[in-house]
Structure 1
Amino acid sequence: MQQLPDRTGLAAILPPVVLEIGRLFEAAGHELSLVGGPVRDLFVGRVSPDLDFTTDASPDQTLAVVAGWADATWEVGRDFGTIALRKGEETIEVTTYRAEAYDPDSRKPVVAFGTSLKDDLYRRDFTMNAMALRLPSLELVDPYGGAADLEAGILRTPGTPASSFSDDPLRMMRAARFASQLKVGVAPEVRQAMADMAERITIISAERVRDELVKLINGADPRAGIDLLVDSGLAERVLPEVSALKLEVDEHHRHKDVYQHSLQVLEQAAELESGPDGPVPGPDFVLRFAALMHDVGKPATRRFEPSGAVSFRHHDVVGSKLVKKRMRELRFDNDTIKAVARLVELHMRFYGYGEAGWTDSAVRRYVTDAGPLLQRLHRLTRSDVTTRNRRKAERLAFAYDDLEQRIEEILAKEELESVRPDLDGQAIMAILGLRPGPLVGRAYKHLLELRLDNGPMGPEAAEAELRAWWADQPEAREAAAT
């Protein structure tokens, strides 16, 4: 962590609107401070894209101060004391000093406006976020030791953790998110309070939990964040499939720790993300979450075979269904759900062809089934190798290198990414004299299967195959009989 720059340095790196709005409030006789994450980020050498301010002014007074200066204002957060505004390219939120608490049985906070900056900082989540810069003087206000805790890399709360988490249980998720994003540890009393109060997370809306989970997964150290969720018991409430990966180790130790394996796959997948101009720019939530969840079907499919081996047959299919269910409960959008679930379903596909070798037909099906997820599937499959046996790992890596090369060769030759049968639906109907309906779909699927097996055939050969297929269909025989 670096030292906070002096006033001249701060004035040079902060957006000009920070000092401008500070002078406006000072001239109107009100206090204003930059607060929370933007102040914390100055200590780690970056300027936050978010500009959050706190003030002794009421929402009405805030609107009066910025009238004629702000380009636009919004009052959607007015009941919580927040006025949002835009000045040039910057979006700003100004919130009246406040104290808030959650009713034990309610998801909505009870808001009471406060009167002092110190009291406002006391109600914030963690000490490193309970720092402020008074404006326009740029004086640092740090009554709870946030700078020291940031330097030490430790999460603490301004008051007691129990009080903080009772006020807003989502802060427990936020602790895990910061463990991932900022690579910080968690004070023992904070960790204990999370374990004691984990059930309180159930009063928080699924959407808010989801948003924190996404930030955690996309952080610099997602393994640390997930570990904290699992160890505290929060995962049992928000992501129970991951907690279930801690399979009870049998007395003969016949299978590896699926939980630790999944965390390693998550780490390795993140390492394989590309730069901003590459095929999978990081952080990529779809890839990372699929990596974490790829084996969640194993607990339900674990079987001890007579030979003494442990099997997890069809855990990919079962896991895909579990992922869909969990992500729907967390209110993810349909596209994200489908992408993650499909990767989980396909993550074992590579091993199905490992011994027999890859025919052109198998390569085509692999590419077609993956569709736009192919580059992510490449990375997930490679990440799923966590064996300590170097020879085995090298053999698998070589086999996948060969597969990727085969894919590139066939893609270049056949444009598999947009693979279609040699005859479309209109041509099928014209040749067979059919009207639109299920029969046309069956015929189309048959031609697609031939295309995948044999590669491009051309319209004439495809028509011959279509007519041969049609001759064997019961509908054709019924038509001929009449």
Structure 2
Amino acid sequence: MLRLLAHRDFPFYTPKGAIPVGGALRDLLLGRRPQDLDFAAEDPLRAAEEAQARLGGSLFPLDAARGQYRLAVGPMTLDFAPLEGTPEEDLGRRDFRLNALLWKGGRVFGLPGVEEDLRRRLLVMVREENLYADHLRSLRAVRLAASLGLGLLEATREALARHARFLLAHSGALPARERVREELSRLLLSPRAAWGLHLLERTGLLDVYLPELRPLVGLEQGGVHHLDAWRHTLSVLFHLTWLWPEAPLEARLAALYHDVGKPLTRRFDPEVGRYRFLGHAEVGAEVAGASLLWLRFPKGAVEEVRALVRRHMDRPPEGAKALRRFYFRRQDLLPALPYLMAADRLGTKGVEKEAWEVLEAYRETLSEPLPERPLLSGEEVMALLGLRPGPEVGRALALLLEAQAEGRARTPEEARALLLNWRGGGQDPAP
């Protein structure tokens, strides 16, 4: 029997014949403003088209065969699905009691026990077998727990672990990669991303969705590392979001994958008496790229993550000019790279102070922004040096832009003198 939870207005447009259900009502009851709205309707497509006529946006099928449609309107999404049976029967088929909610006639209804879930901020299954009706639900449980700060009872964790073992044994049951990517992205963008990844490992779901990271678990490192490679990875992800709360997804993915190459490069070095991981950044960049492409991440995002993983071991030089040149040559990775470097150091023992030195030097060095365009145009360079259009002009402009970054050319006159000296056999800037 449904329970009356609250009397309140639903503060969003509702198409005729549709009933607000699920996560939006959960968020409202938890005092949050929802960004995603879910509706159950006897005719989901008709309801979605009515909403589009009223709100605009882009309408597309999520699963036309199952009658599921999405309307994207700015930052919000409105999802429409069939109402199956009575409202009570429909809620009984949902994943968690906090999602088994509906609004009707100015009242919010839910299943028995949901009042306790709201009070204790717990994520409790409606029924364990419901996980198998949509195999993404176990991953969604971890994402919801991390993003909403919800606890999981031991029985829920055990059920998630059983579902993980089922998915490992039945690869054909795995959800579409695009859906997995969306859930993993939302997990990583949550304030408790590191805890969510820990929970993913503890339930066995890491083996299902990110198996390339499993070899990090328990991998001892030695040296300045007091944590195994997996706990160090979680520490780096935590410290990245602590230092930079607005860190974008690409930076968080780079933190997650920055040491993924270590299991493949681990070799014992008798001279230092411990294992070393020479080349792990380069190897890790390739592993990260392949893994993220498989999950259908956009190619541009994948390339940025690969570059960050490959460069995370680069050591910033001393001296203002050298440091400006260092960051100029890596400007496409700013500010993610210095934050990743700092977070990596905070995840160790004995070199933590280097984290603050990296960030302080970065901020001080780039207090004057890097140049965005050369002081001279391509036409001016060709006239000055007597060049025809071609690669030599591009090299001259690149040389000039780097000299501007270092502060060696601040005016057009200094730019001309520098290029004439270079053309006459002078030295290029130090590499």
TM-score, normalised relative to structure 2:
0.80
Q: Which of 130, 153, 170 matches 2:136?
A: 170
Q: CA deviation at 1:178?
A: 1.3
Counterparts of 1:63 and 1:227, CA distance in 2:
38
What's the Cα RMSD here? Answer: 3.9
2:352 matched residue in structure 1:
393
Counterparts of 1:159 and 1:318, CA distance in 2:
43
Describe the SS at the equivalent of 1:158.
coil
Counterparts of 1:225 and 1:431, CA distance in 2:
59
For the pair 1:220 / 2:186, whether they are aligned, the reply is no
2:165 matched residue in structure 1:
196
Asked whether the equivalents of residues 146 and 195 of structure 2 are also in contact (C-alpha less than 8 Å), the reply is yes
2:211 matched residue in structure 1:
240
Q: Which of 295, 315, 328 matches 2:259?
A: 295
What letter is aligned with 1:456?
A
Cα deviation code 1:58-91 (max 9, x no counterpart) = 4588689x6999567968466433566799x997
Q: CA deviation at 1:449?
A: 6.1
Describe the SS at the equivalent of 1:220.
coil
Counterparts of 1:59 and 1:418, CA distance in 2:
50
Counterparts of 2:45 and 2:278, CA distance in 1:
63
Q: CA deviation at 1:434?
A: 4.3
Describe the SS at the equivalent of 1:34.
strand
For the pair 1:320 / 2:320, whether they are aligned, the reply is no
1:117 matched residue in structure 2:
87
The runs of 5 or more residues in structure 1 that have no matched partner are 26-31, 98-113, 275-281, 473-482
Change (3 A) 1:405 1:322: same
Counterparts of 1:367 and 1:68, CA distance in 2:
46
Q: CA deviation at 1:177?
A: 0.8
Change (3 A) 1:318 1:465: farther
For the pair 1:263 / 2:259, whether they are aligned, the reply is no
Instruction: Give the total of aligned pairs.
Output: 414
What letter is aligned with 1:339?
E
What letter is aligned with 2:140?
R
Asked whether the equivalents of residues 254 and 310 of structure 1 are also in contact (C-alpha less than 8 Å), the reply is no
Q: CA deviation at 1:249?
A: 3.5
For the pair 1:362 / 2:325, whether they are aligned, the reply is no
Moved runs in structure 1, 4+ residues, more than 6 A?
A: 66-69, 83-87, 250-255
Counterparts of 1:233 and 1:468, CA distance in 2:
64
Q: CA deviation at 1:164?
A: 2.5
Residue pairs, 1:400-411, within 5 angstroms = 400=358, 402-404=360-362, 406-408=364-366, 411=368
Counterparts of 1:345 and 1:6, CA distance in 2:
53
Change (3 A) 1:317 1:60: closer
Describe the SS at the equivalent of 2:273.
coil
For the pair 1:158 / 2:144, whether they are aligned, the reply is no
Cα deviation code 1:350-407 (max 9, x no counterpart) = x353xxxx123321222213315322223222212236757x423x145325513541
2:220 matched residue in structure 1:
249
User: Which structure has the larger Rg?
Assistant: 1
1:40 matched residue in structure 2:
26
Q: CA deviation at 1:427?
A: 4.5
Counterparts of 1:264 and 1:352, CA distance in 2:
22
The runs of 5 or more residues in structure 2 that have no matched partner are none
Q: CA deviation at 1:267?
A: 1.0
Counterparts of 2:94 and 2:426, CA distance in 1:
71
Change (3 A) 1:215 1:36: same
Asked whether the equivalents of residues 177 and 212 of structure 1 are also in contact (C-alpha less than 8 Å), the reply is yes
2:36 matched residue in structure 1:
50
Q: CA deviation at 1:232?
A: 3.2
Q: CA deviation at 1:438?
A: 3.9
